[in-house]
Amino acid sequence: MTQISPLLAVPPEIRELIYRIILHPDASRHYHDDEYTSYDYTPALVLFRINKQIYHESRKIFRDLNTFIRIETPWPEAQQHVAAEGHVPMIACGTRAARFAGYSMRVRIDAPEVPMEIGDEQMFLVLLNDLTSFAKMWYYSNLSHPGLNPQLRLTLDLHDPFTPDYEEKRMLKGLQRKLILPFGQVRDLRDIIVTGDPKPFPSIEAEMREEQARPQLSPEHCLREGTRLKQLGNDELKKGNYQEALRIYNEAWLAIHVVIAGHKRHIHADRYFSRELREEPYIGKNGQTERLILRVQLVANTCQVFLKLHDYAECVFWGKRTINMLREAVGADVRQDISPEDEVIRGFPAADQMGKIYYRTAIALKELDNSDEARRLLRVAIHRHAWTTLEKERHLNGDGGLPHTYDTAPAENKGIPVLIFDASGPGGRLPVVELDALASFGKYHELCTFMLSGMNTPEMERRYTIVPSKLLNFVEMDGKMVQFVFKDSKMSLEGLMVEKGRAWDWLAVGGI
């Protein structure tokens, strides 16, 4: 006697809900690191093998929920590029994709000047759910390699895989829109052919071509939008809405064509930004340089968010990633130690923001009990901030010389200033350097000592130590003279000049 499945005892409308849950693509999607995904339908398709009635019922639901597209191209590297850069999961590749007849559209990409021979096709299947990501990846590729699309031809061939050949082929207009319109963002192609059986709706093809004809947003627009979103993220950061700040920063990255996916960062459109800018507020500036400055600012602010969230590992990851990329850009070996003096790149356009990245990464490393590396990065941060201030002053003076005094604090106190003193040397104090409030490095055995070099002459190279003000008592002397005394010892630091009434969270003093 044949055993009846308990599933058939359930009312049909409830069975359909069960089928929809099991057979939905999300139920077969597996999530991996860095927002990569893959599909495995094996467990779900067990439904097809229970009995004939459940097979026919569930097959209809499967076809409704899962629409497949077959992509054909003559370039073997295309599949890897789509998966790695576009984060588009493949359902099947190669001969398995070639044998599969249940697709609803064939996407053929070729170059008319180089005809694709039979057997040269590289085929892979993607889901309709991922088609927009595929087209977006192609959009970015065109911005990065603007000479490629004018050589390419795109053929969109609709296909009804389930209607028998003796009946008229059909496809709902809503499904045609979902299949065709994502390619509206693929511009500058040599030729586009939209065909198939059933025939495409002319209005849908016209809508796609109208979108393709829209001009690209200018690099200036992208930079303005990225800057606007960065400021919105900063506002949320100040309010303590840290997750919302991260979300908005991610939108800022997208605005300048940088895609963040987990720990992956895909930087697109270098060629697109590589020109002199012609719109306010960037007239006469280089697009790549302006985007680099904004990128570094976003990393610095993202590190600050992770510090606030006490997610020190993430802060270190993004901080070190940017630091290592900068080192590689100047030909340094990231596996070897570099002196703070050598690591400061003179004239780097985002030097002040890079200083913040070094500094915030150092704080996170200290929280993770990596004090040695923290001290090393903090020394670089001090060098970077000192040199940024000096370069600004030299530019204002016009003579390239170091001023004997520098008494003006930054106009916008976005961070807590750290005053660097050289009480024993000529010229009094060195410039005010703006940093955020430094986290405690402990007491005396953990005070961060560094060398501040490059101050015009070897005689001005001094040894300095970062001292947390909470360890000190302040005793006013004559005029502006202030004596600093450690709270738990007789040791004092005399003869240091500060402004009265100023609250210094940390002091960097010479001669300790």
Q: What is the pLDDT of residues 301-319, one digit of tens each?
A: 999 999 999 999 999 999 9
Structure confidence at residue 497 (pLDDT): 37
Per-residue pLDDT, 6 = 86
End-to-end CA distance of the chain: 94
**pLDDT (mean) for 25-31:** 95
Q: What percent of the chain has pLDDT over 70?
A: 69
How far is Cα of residue 16 from the mean position of the Cα atoms in its chain? Answer: 41
Considering the chain, what percentage of its residues have pLDDT values greater than 90?
55
Q: Which residue has the tokens 């000592």?
A: 449
Question: Looking at residue 75, what is its pLDDT?
Answer: 85
Q: How confident is the model at residue 340 (pLDDT cuts 50, 70, 90)?
A: low
Integer-rounded Cα Rg, in Å, for the chain is 31
At residue 461 the predicted structure's pLDDT band, cuts being 50, 70 and 90, is: very low
472-476/481-486 β-pairing: antiparallel
Highest mean pLDDT among 110-124, 260-274, 338-352: 260-274
Which of 47-56, 110-119, 328-337, 466-475 shows the lowest mean pLDDT across its residues?
466-475
d(CA 381, CA 354): 8
Closest-CA residue to 509 (of 404, 413, 430): 430
> Quick one: pLDDT at residue 362?
87
Structure tokens given for 16: 């359909």
pLDDT of residue 155 exceeding 70, the answer is: yes
In this structure, of 131-135, 218-222, 468-472, the range with the lowest mean pLDDT score is: 468-472
Torsion of CA 282, 284, 289, 295, to 10 degrees: 0
| pLDDT surpassing 60 at residue 12 | yes
Instruction: Kindly report the pTM of this predicted structure.
Output: 0.73
Per the structure block, which two tokens stand in for 380? 């670089």
- Given this model, what pLDDT does residue 321 score? 92
Residue 412 pLDDT > 70, yes or no?
no
Mean of the pLDDT values across residues 445-456? 34
Spatial CB neighbours of 429, under 8 Å, sequence gap ≥ 6: 405, 406, 419, 420, 421, 422, 423, 497
Q: Is 102 exposed, middle or buried (0-12, 13-18, 19+ CB in 10 A)?
A: middle
Cα–Cα distance for residue pair 368/363, rounded to 1 Å: 9
Q: Give yes or no for residue 165 having a pLDDT over 80.
A: yes
Distances (CA, A) of 451 to 16, 341, 510: 72, 9, 10
For β-strands 472-476 and 506-510, DSSP reports them as unpaired
Phi, psi of 419 (to 5 degrees): -90, 125
Element (H, E) at 359: helix 351-367
Express each pLDDT in 67-83 by its tens digit: 999 999 988 888 888 98
- Rounded to 5 degrees, φ, ψ at 397 are -70, -30
The residues, ordered by sequence, that sit 6+ positions from 50 with a Cβ below 8 Å of its Cβ are 5, 7
pLDDT at 460 over 70: no
What is the greatest pairwise CA distance in the chain? 107
Confidence of residue 192 (pLDDT cuts 50, 70, 90): very high
Strand, coil or helix: 500: coil
Residue 217: pLDDT over 90: yes
Report which of residues 231 and 495 the model is more confident about.
231
Residue pair 103/69 in contact by the 8 Å Cβ criterion = yes
Rounded CA gap, 199 and 193, in Å? 12
Q: Is pLDDT above 50 for 177? A: yes
- Which pLDDT score is estimated for 76? 83
Compute how many other C-beta atoms are within 10 angstroms of the C-beta atom of residue 458: 8
- 15, amino acid identity: R
Assess contact for 188 and 149: CB atoms under 8 A.
yes
Residue 60 has pLDDT above 90, yes or no: yes
